[in-house]
Amino acid sequence: MKFAYYPGCSARSTCAELNEATHRVAAKLGLELNQLDSATCTGARELRAIDPVGFYTLNVRILALAERAGLPLMTICNTCTLNVLDAHAAFVEDEDLADSINARLAEEGLRYSGRTRISHFLWVLYENIGIERLRSLVVRPLNGLTVAAFYGCHITRPPQRYGFVDSRNNVALEKLAEVLGCRPIDYSGRTECCGFHTAAHDERVAIKLTGQHIKSARANGAATMVTPCPLCHTVLDSFQKEIERDIGENLDMPVLHLPQLVGLALGLTSEELRLDRHMVKTQAIASLIGA
């Protein structure tokens, strides 16, 4: 099974451990990843707001690179996923926009016809690997590990993209955690916002919002949190010291990237999954599951 793989900016800078872990886990799962090195940033939230044409062009270019390779696209970041999904939808709906983007892409011999299937790693596990096959690949069931799933926003909202009346009803991460042997816990932050997208100019919002989520995860007995988004991870993990200072208590909440949780159950070591690159120490998890 082969994918055009788009890691995004975060997994190649602040969350480079996510990219490494994804490659390791993909190899275990028999996924061949064709990494799109010449793909640009999808524009985060900023480009799409102030320069929609530039935003659509960069994203359709990513889709066109995958289409040229004849492969479905796999993403590992919520915001990138929604960006390419939105750009694909706009491309398909607006013929004028589609023509003007293709005219720009033609300068480098690229063309998009609207055929690329877009899939986040979380969805690939269900749709391409399959839950039963994944279960059979688990060599180290993560028994005893209580997990607080943190979805983030852009993998479950907006409603016109994913169809949820109430995005809190998403259970994809909890079901997956159970397959890996974990015990998912319920808490108030599951589908709430981490505040990442305004943190570069004012991180107080991210610190206040995410503080509530980690506190709730801790109060409900989570030994670790897990997220499918490196942007959420940055706030949950890299900002945790500032969050602790803000609320005046210790949290010590390890936060795993989704491929790291899967990788642990597939028998990869914490070194291979680069748990050492996290800001909050993850040794407690390793000793709980004997990794």
Partner 1 sequence: MTNVDVDARRLGQDERHDTLAARNTRLAIGEMLAVRVRRFDAEAGGAALQDFQVPYRKWMRVLDALNWIAENAATDLAYRWFCGSKMCGTCAVRMNGREVLACWEAVEPSMTIEPLRNLPVIRDLLVDRSPFDRKLAELEPWLERPTPYPGFPEPLSHKDIKNASKALDCIACLACYSACPVIGLGNLTDFAGPAPLVQLGQTALDPRNDAAKVARSLERTGIFNCVSCYKCEEVCPASIPIVTRVIEPLKAKAASLRPATATHSRALRAIVAARGRVDPGALVLRVQGLRALVNLPRVLRLFMRGKIDPIKTFLKRKTPAAGAAERLLGRGDSP
140 or 203: CB nearest partner 1: 203
The least CB distance from residue 284 to partner 1, in Å, is 18
| Binding status of residue 51 toward partner 1 by CB under 8 A | yes
Q: Which is nearer to partner 1, 167 or 260 (CB)?
A: 167
Binding mask 113-142 for partner 1 (x = CB under 8 A): ----x----xx-xxxx-xx-----------
Q: Confirm or reject binding of residue 50 to partner 1 (CB under 8 A).
A: yes
Binding mask 160-189 for partner 1 (x = CB under 8 A): x-xxxxxxxxxxx--x--------------
User: Within positions 262 to 281, which residues make up the interface with partner 1, using CB under 8 A?
Assistant: 276-279
Cβ 112 to partner 1 shortest distance, Å: 13
Give SS3 for 33: strand
Residue choice 10, 19, 116, 282 for contact with partner 1 (CB under 8 A): 10
Sign of torsion over alpha carbons 185, 186, 188, 193: positive
Q: Please state the closest distance from residue 169 (CB atom) to partner 1, in A.
A: 4
Left, alpha or beta for 163 (phi > 0: left; psi -120 to 50: alpha)? Answer: left
Provide the minimum distance between the beta carbon of 176 and partner 1 in the complex, in angstroms, as a whole number: 9
Quick check: 67 binds partner 1 (CB under 8 A)?
no
Contacts of 73 (CB under 8 A, 6+ apart): 3, 4, 5, 6, 62, 63, 66, 84, 116, 117, 118, 119
Segment interacting with partner 1 (CB under 8 A) among 18-26, 202-210, 221-229, 256-264 = 202-210
Helix (H, G, I), strand (E, B) or coil at 120: strand
Site for partner 1 contains 248 (CB under 8 A): no
Q: What is the DSSP letter of 123?
A: H
Among 4, 192, 215, 229, binds partner 1 (CB under 8 A): 192
Amino acid making up residue 149:
A
Is-contact 115 91, C-beta < 8 A?
Answer: no
State how far the Cα of 214 lies from the Cα of 70, in Å rounded to an integer.
41
Contact at 8 Å (CB) between 151 and 214? Answer: no
Query: Do the beta carbons of residue 235 and residue 195 sit within 8 Å?
Result: yes
| Residue number, 160 or 250, with CB nearest to partner 1 | 160
Question: Is residue 49 involved in binding partner 1 (CB under 8 A)?
Answer: yes
